Every structure is written in structure tokens, then in C-alpha cells.
Structure 1
Amino acid sequence: MKGKRVLVTGGAGFLGYHLAQNLPRRGVAFMAFNDIAPFFKEEYPEDYILANVDVRDADGMYRLIHDNKIEIIVHCAAALPLWPKEEIMSTNIAGLRNTLTQAQKCGVERVIFISSTAVYGVPEKHPLVEDDPVDGVGAYGISKIAGEGVCADFRKQGMCVPVIRPKTFIGTARLGVFQILYDWVDSGKRIPIIGKGNNLYQLLEVTDLIDAIWLAGSAPADIANDIFNVGAQRYDKVKLDVGALCDFAGNGARVMPTPAPLVKGALAVFEFMKISPLYKWVYGTADKDSYVSTEKIEKKLGWKSQYSNQDALIGSHKWYLEHKDELKTQKAGITHRVGWDQGVLKLFKRWM
């Protein structure tokens, strides 16, 4: 990717923000970003192109790619699980197909698709490898599976379309559901975990994800044109990883196991009533093992993670502590870069 002209779709999001901060230091020649969400322009250098272009807009995407002589696209654009189903399917499938179509017309060298380990569903077998069956949970998981199918179609037509399947990734400026965790920990509350917390739940620090993207964009096409899992190589039981975060806070916050069937049932009702921000993928997998093998990306691209689950959680929490006062003035939303309305969870927080 060094010396290349790069477009990041979904560039106003959490990963787009970090790519903007990171890739120039690695030597990319030019960067453009597009999103339908507003950009925090002060976070992007003045010479970057920030375009409010929808990935479903054929003419807009063609002009953005063609006029800026884009050579590599990192496709981060996605409607997240809290979005309406129709928007998720349209953005995540039709938007991806349109991006690939316009990239093909403009002779783009490669398009790196950011998929998700959500494509695996909630299997019993672990660690998960790239050839394991896919079974998405909810519209988001289903849309990512379909998106990978679109990538496969274009790969058959001769395009280089690496697919990255990251675990849930966090880091500085990551809010969303993690802002709720950080708020509770900062308040010195008991932190309810679904079940006993003996399950292994792998996370990923965003810097390690960017390393994987860089390698997928830099390796020879015949090596990079594949599907790769990415996740922290050091992770522990949920109760220990969250417990380490509580220990770091040093304010009395502590892990509190809960009966999984009862809590999941209650959260399902709250979700149906639209009074909780937690959706099925979050609470449905919280007490399950969830970790992937990274052997393939290690061997083919030479990737290694720098950060453990605990490193990632504590580093992200530190950023939250430094910015929590200004975050209180922001309006709640449904992306990973803003806090979510805790809804009924606020009531339970008082009792913790």
C-alpha cells in the first residue's frame, strides 16, 4: 500500500478514523474518505478528500474513484446491527456490489472488504477457521455472508478482493456498547456478565486490525486474494479480562456473574420493547466461547497481534476517562463512534 492512492469507504466511522491517523505514517500517497455520516473534519488533515457519497450511488462512487485515481479501496462502509433491516441489507450488499462494480470500471488494483466473524453465527466448535460453515445471526450477520459472496463473484472475474474477518475491535475513540461498560466501570459499579464468565471471548485492538489491512493491501495479489480471520492472540476468560479492567479502575468496580437464561430472556424482552440498546448478537453470544484461529493470516501474510484483550480494554478505557466530560455533551446515536442511549439499563445501573 506504500505509495498508493487509497479510498476508505465508511471513512467517518471508528475504523475509518483510525485508518486516517495510521496509514499516512506508513507512506500512502493519497487518501480519500466517503460516508453518509458527518465527518469530524478536525480529525482529518486538510489535504484529505472527505466526500458525503453513498456507496449505493453508482455515479457518485464512479466519480470519486475515477477523479481521484484511486488504486486501493478499503471497504469499511456498513450499516450496523441497530440500523433498520432494509438499510442493513441495502448498504451492506448492494453498496458493496456497487463499490466493486465502479472499482472494476476504474481499474482499481484491489478492494479490501472488512467483513466480520459474525458470519460464523454461534457455533459449538472452536477455534473457528476460515473454511468453517457460515451461519449469520440477524440481518447484519446475514448481510456480511452475502457480501462475501459478492466478493467471490468479483474474484472470479479477476479482481483482487481480500476479505478480512475481524473479531469485535476496540481502541481509542471506540464507544457504542463499550461506552456503557466503561461508564459502569468508571462509576465503581458491579459489572454484570451473562453467565459465570468462564467462556473465552476474543477481542481485537484496532491497531492490530490496521496491521492486517496493511498486509492485505501490500502482499502479492495471489497471496492476499483470500479470506483471513483476525483476532487477539492473547485472551482469557471473560471474568478475568473484564476483571482486569475493573482492577485497573481501582474504584470498587467488580465482575458480577448472572444466570444466563434469566438475563437473556429479560434482554430479549427489552430489545423487543425497544428500551435497551443491546441486540441479540451482543447478549446471545456473551456467555459463549467465541474465538478464531489466526494461523492462516500469520502464515500467509506474516501478521501477529501486539495487544491482548486486557491491553485493548484498558487502553480504550483510558481514552474514555480522558474524554468522558466532552462525551456527555454529544447526542446519543447508533454507531461505534458515539455513546448509545442506555435506556432501561440506566435503572439497573442504580442498583449495582
Structure 2
Amino acid sequence: HEYVVHAAAALPIQVAKKSIYSVNIDGTRNVLEACLHHKVKRVIFISSTAVYGVPKHLPEMETSPLYPIGFYGESKVAGEKLCLEYAKKGLSMNIFRPKTFLGTERLGVFELWFEAIFKGRRVYILGKGNNKYQLLAVTDLVDAIEKALFTKVDGEIFNVGAKDFGTWREDLGAVISYDKSKSRITSLPTFPSQLILGVLEKLHLSPIAAWHYKTMPVDSYVSIEKAEQLLDWHPKKSNQELLLESYLWYKKNRREVKNRIGNTHRVGWNFKVLNWVSKF
């Protein structure tokens, strides 16, 4: 047990504060305590850009103020604080704040869009879709983790995201065009949609959490300069490349995905009430 990557987390869609805090705070404390006891060489903690909340200063820097949204964001801030406490006790570690990361077998909320594109239906987005939204390829995250495990750099927090990213309209539009789908991107009014999604979230009828619907319609991206400079990490995939790669995987494995309903990013989510929207 020389190296530990702590990536386990209860997601925003699991809603209940007790569940999220138990896994993301108490669970993190247990992992860190065990690592300290067993004298692990290096720990990597996967946090989230959810700690920043709705972006107020762009690009978000590692030193930007934290305004977490919901229990998930709050739990990630608490997890980071625990990591820094254990670093003071002598535990070697680095922390990552990744943007929403996507790849084969990791779909999450993107399944809703991919299914709409597959069937040639409308692709609904909050707002006009002209806002820039940075994503991250799972493969690029893995590369960053590997570099952070075996570097002399210690006790640092790093933002990680794609270097090349556009607006929702540009990036989703590229997938639609490549697939020659009949889908068209359709804007939903931001404020009314957020109110409705808020109600559905509270009724446990939608997997789209506050973190999603509050940040989706605004510019959201982070600076990755620190990781580039200190870790010599350079993301290889753009938003469009990682979205297309993920969509093509979904298209090939669609039937299997739909049979694996659950509440992790590796299975198809049960969209319940939201399913009717994609039929228009």
C-alpha cells in the first residue's frame, strides 16, 4: 500500500446529507487515518470544482474563494480541509479539483443528451448555450494523477480541465454534426427551468442536482497553469473530442447501459420525469 488514490464519493444525486457526509467526510477521514497508520508514501485526493460554486472569477484559480453548492460541494471542502490537517501530521499528498470528467463507461447526466442525439430528438440546454463550459477527459485525469503520485511536488491543490473547450452549442453541436443526427439544440429559459429542476430534485424525480443546473448556464472554467507548470501535465483531449468519444461508446453500448440503472457515473441514471422531455 505505497500509494493511495482516494476517488470514492457519494454524488450530488444521492441528495441525503447524512449519506453524502458519511462517505465524503467520515470516509475520507478513515482513509487518511489508515494511510497515516500504514505510512503510505503518497495520497491523491479527488475533490471537485464544485467547491467554487457558481463561478465568480474566471478562470477560477486554486486560490479563488470557495462558495460550495449543496451538501456535495460542502463535503468536498471539508474533505480538502481534512487532507490539509493530515498533511500537517506528515502524510504526503496532493489534491485535485477536476472539472466534470467524462469518458467511456462514465456518463452521468450526459446520458440524457446522448440518448436524444441517438434518437434525433431535441437536445435541451439551460439558457442560450453560448457560455463556455470546460470539461475533462477521464484519460487526462488519470495522467494527472500518475504525475502527481510520483513527483517531488507535495501538499498542493491542482485544478484540472481541458485546454481546448468551447460553448455548449459548439461542443454538443459538433457531436450532432458528426453523427449526422436530426437533433437540434433547444434552449430552455434559465430561471423557470432552475425552479422546476429544484422542485424535481427535492422530490427525488431528477438526477440533475443544484450543482448541475446552477452552473450549466454560465461560463465555467478553471486555470490549469499550476498543473502544467508544476506537474508538466498537458491535457490531450478537447471538449469536442472527449464528448464525441464518449457518445460513440454510448451508441455502441447503449443497450447494456440502459440495463444498468443506478446512481453512479458508470451506469445509466434513472431520469424518471425527465424522460418525457426528450420525447418532444
TM norm structure 1: 0.77
The structure having more radius of gyration, on CA atoms, is 1
> Structure 2 residue aligned with 1:300, among 219, 230, 233?
230
- Map of 1:186 onto structure 2: 118
Misfit runs of 4+, over 3 Å: none
Contact preservation (8 Å) 1:231, 1:305: yes
Deviation at 1:322, TM superposition (A): 0.9
Could you say what secondary structure the match of 1:344 adopts? Answer: helix
Deviations 1:220-275 (Å, cap 9, x if unpaired)? 1xx13200000000000111111111112212112112211121122122222222
- Map of 1:157 onto structure 2: 89
User: How far apart, CA to CA, are the structure 1 residues paired with 2:252 and 2:106?
Assistant: 13
Deviation at 1:175, TM superposition (A): 2.3
- Map of 2:274 onto structure 1: 345
Deviation at 1:276, TM superposition (A): 1.9
Q: Does residue 10 of structure 2 align to residue 75 of structure 1?
A: no
Could you say what secondary structure the match of 2:272 adopts? Answer: coil
Segments of 5+ residues of structure 1 without an aligned counterpart are 1-69
Could you say what secondary structure the match of 1:276 adopts? Answer: coil
> Structure 2 residue aligned with 1:225, among 137, 147, 155?
155
Counterpart of 1:135, as a letter, is Y
- Map of 1:241 onto structure 2: 171
- Map of 2:217 onto structure 1: 287
Deviations 1:286-308 (Å, cap 9, x if unpaired)? 10111000000100010001000
Q: Which moved more, 1:266-275 or 1:177-186?
A: 266-275
Segments of 5+ residues of structure 2 without an aligned counterpart are none
- Map of 2:101 onto structure 1: 169
Higher relative contact order (CA 8 A, sep 6+): 2
Could you say what secondary structure the match of 2:83 adopts? Answer: helix
Counterpart of 1:344, as a letter, is V
Contact preservation (8 Å) 2:55, 2:215: no
Superposition map of 1:1-352 within 5 A = 70-83=1-14, 84-220=16-152, 223-330=153-260, 332-351=261-280
Identity %: 45
Deviations 1:112-156 (Å, cap 9, x if unpaired)? 101111110113210001011111100000000000000110111
Could you say what secondary structure the match of 2:159 adopts? Answer: strand
Contact preservation (8 Å) 1:176, 1:338: yes
Q: Which moved more, 1:291-300 or 1:94-103?
A: 94-103
User: How far apart, CA to CA, are the structure 2 residues paired with 1:181 and 1:217?
Assistant: 35
Contact preservation (8 Å) 1:119, 1:141: yes
User: How far apart, CA to CA, are the structure 2 residues paired with 1:337 and 1:172?
Assistant: 9
User: How far apart, CA to CA, are the structure 2 residues paired with 1:327 and 1:294?
Assistant: 32
Counterpart of 2:41, as a letter, is E
